[in-house]
Amino acid sequence: MEGPGATFNLIEFSERLVVRVTGRESAISLHSEIVIGTGFVRGKAPTSIGVDDLESWQSALDSLDAGRDVSWRKW
């Protein structure tokens, strides 16, 4: 992957979740980081995202759009 990576932002008031793609790990996996920021805490964690993760991310976003509570990538 060359140049800047994709960034996905979910922002509500002062709370923010960012998934930033930082490079390619393999043909089906991307280096990335998850960044969280609220009024009292900030942090980031390196991770990798695969095809299955992107499919479940789409499902989570569809659920959010429908007004349902969701979780993504439970560890």
Q: Give tens-digit pLDDT for 49-61.
A: 887 888 888 888 8
C-alpha dist (Å) from residue 60 to 5, 28, 64, 65, 73: 21, 20, 6, 9, 10
Q: What pLDDT is stored for residue 13 in this prediction?
A: 67
**pLDDT of residue 33 exceeding 60:** yes
Q: Give tens-digit pLDDT for 34-49.
A: 888 888 889 999 988 8
| Nearest one of 53, 48, 55, 59 to 5, comparing CA atoms | 48
**Max Cα–Cα distance, the chain, nearest Å:** 38
Phi and psi at residue 57, in whole multiples of 5°? -60, -45
For residue 13, the number of C-alpha atoms closer than 13 Å in the C-beta half-sphere is: 2
Q: What pLDDT is stored for residue 51 in this prediction?
A: 79
